[in-house]
Structure 1
Amino acid sequence: MGKGVLVTGGSRGIGSGIARCMAQDGYDVAFTYRGARQEAQALCRELEGYGVRAFYRQASLEKVEDCRKTVTWAVAELGRLDAAVCNAGVTLTYPFQDFPLEEMQTLMDLNLRGYLLTAQAAARAMISAGAPGAIVMITSVRATRAFPEDAVYGGIKAALCRAAEGMALDLARYGIRVNTVAPGYIQTRDTPEVQAFSEGFGARIPLGRAGRPEDIGQAVRFLCSSQAAYITGATLRVDGGLILPGMPEVPFGPAWGNPDYPPDREILDYRFPGE
């Protein structure tokens, strides 16, 4: 029986990049989707092409019972759970003074409680099996760098980083490592609008391009591997250097190292359409 991993929100975007990288590393993959059933089916076939088993399940992880049922399902399908990746979430940003209560509740239920309950259920499954394991939670550079209209979303991501540190302490005795991966701007769609934005924006990132889902997948694969056996309670930032110089987020904003866009130009606005 091969290694098994659960990836929540795995049917598209960053989640699909994680699922691919884990399958390439020989993991059987169980992943969830919310509404993109056809994409889930296609990804399942793709993963099986790597010679591993793949399973998918519809889940609404803002619901308490769905978090627990998802882990139970994954263990039953995979036969073992060596790694769990909490990725399913939404991006919602508003000026703090205008943030709708219902949207705030969605972020709290899915991006915070959903992560914690899924990780808790995964940890319990690993402890019950008497086996070591790895838990990775996908956060964001927004956890460490403040952005406009980002008090709630970024605050929740910061809370997850802090929670992971405490989880790492509690679970170390069982050989379970807990880490987070903090993506920067990752292009998750290929529409002409997003592609054009990503090319312009990517040129302003120190490494010269937008991130790809597989960039996050490679980071997760490393943290779940024996190469990271002595790493726990850490955050691995994967952003091409995005937040090092400041905020080169927009085509008309500052671009460090680009003489055509000196850093004294005004930052007018920012949006991450591919996020």
Structure 2
Amino acid sequence: MFIANQSNDIRTLTTAADGLGVTLPGSITTMLDHLREMQADQQPRPDLNGYTTDLATHLGDRAAMVKARKVAALDLAAADAHQRITGPLIDRCAKVVHQRVREARDEITALFATALAPQLDILNTEAGRLPAGFKPEHAADLDPALFEAWSRARDAHAVLRSARQSLAMFYRVSPDNLFTIEALLALAYAAPPKTFTDYTYAYRFARALAGIRHAGSDLGVLNTDGVFAPTALAHLGATFEWAGPTEVARRMQTITAAAVQPKTERVGV
């Protein structure tokens, strides 16, 4: 299962890179090309019926059958050795490529940042133009200019979210009480403001990352309202900048630290 996951990681990454026109670092590209060649060179198990049918044509000619059997045995031995070696070799090479890719995660995420710059620019320009608390289902109520802004922001957001999912192997983070899975995805392209005025602001920002707005109490857990995340974030001071794993961890720390409720406000709770 672990090897299969590594192969899926590599396949997902290369598909995203191809789709966005990202050229992976040279040594990795060379290794990937070689791995694909080996995967394409896997051979099916030899058909013994075919060999025995051929050998049977020599029935009555002992010398010819002995010679043909030697040739068949060599062919079968070579095919068996190829099959027994190739599978484990491909698994081992996939592991090597996976490790090499992970070692180059900062370089690779930077390459994706360059490729995704147009989508980030669109969100920085268009997301904040939509009304605060905007929901996708209300798009039909927008005037033509804002509907165009919504369409551009929606499509850009879809590309960014998909790219982040494709790079999941680099972002080993888990959801917690503050960050949902959707929020963790958004942290790769949404940077928080430099400072938060209070802890409720930080909580609102964490919810906006997930496309959620709470009605009623700022810290309530009920009455959640789904909103278009980029617009909610833009109205809370976010800027849209691509981040690698290290920067995402820093963004998480910034928001988590700001979301700590002061002890004086906990008295009597």
Indicate whether the TM-score tops 0.5. no
Computing the radius of gyration over CA atoms, which structure comes out larger, 1 or 2? 2
Name the structure with the higher strand share: 1
More helix per residue: 1 or 2?
2
Q: Which has the higher contact order (CA 8 A, sep 6+)?
A: 2
TM-score for the superposition, normalised by structure 1: 0.26
